[in-house]
Amino acid sequence: MRGKPGRPARGNGLRHRSARTQIPQHVGRSLERHKKAFGRAPELYGADRGFFSERNLTLCERSGVEVVCIPQSGGKKVPEREAYEKTPAFKQGQRFRAGIEGRISVLFCGRGMKRCLAEGIERFEMLVGAAVLANNLMNIASWLIKRTTRCHRRAA
């Protein structure tokens, strides 16, 4: 038994439930922000299976998204859905999404994007931008070092 007798365990699960009810709204808001920023719907919309719902799929299709890569969560897949999730476009979209998640992990673990002490969305965006810049500079430096060591080996 967790917690003390007569007291509820830490947390009451409300946060989890409220986050789950916001997921359908998240897809619509992210599509709106993309359209506002780029003037058009994204070509590909990828998300994890927690975002799967018929409403979200319809929302993406109506918005003009060409490839919707949200895998079905739970339940038996109809053959049509199973075939769609095996298409090269769907698989490529999921790989792209996994690559983004890997890049975010690198930023958190190795490039100093641990915690934002500054307040406000603009300052958080600055932190993310600085972490991305640091990551890109480290990649360029690594590439230049590899390149110069190859050139030195050829010359020797």
Among 4-8, 29-33, 74-78, 125-129, where is mean pLDDT lowest? 4-8
Mean pLDDT value across residues 123-142: 86
Dump pLDDT digits (tens) for 23-65.
557 888 999 999 999 999 999 998 888 888 889 999 999 999 9
Q: Which amino acid is residue 48, in one-letter code?
A: D
Tell me the percentage of the chain whose pLDDT exceeds 90. Answer: 24
The torsion angles phi and psi of 110, rounded to 5 degrees, stand at -120, -5
Give the predicted TM-score (pTM) of the model: 0.61
Of residues 80, 83, 81, the one with CA closest to residue 72: 81
- Best CA proximity match to 90, nearest among 40, 63, 52: 52
- pLDDT-wise least confident of 24-28, 97-101, 119-123, 129-133: 24-28
Buried b (16+ CB within 10 A) or exposed e, 60-81: beebebebbbbbbeeeeeeeee
Indicate the pLDDT class of residue 17, thresholds 50, 70 and 90.
Answer: very low
Give Cβ neighbours of residue 50 (< 8 Å, ≥ 6 apart): 23, 73
Confidence at 111, pLDDT banded by 50, 70, 90: low
pLDDT of residue 152: 65
pLDDT at 13 over 50: no
Per-residue pLDDT, 14: 38
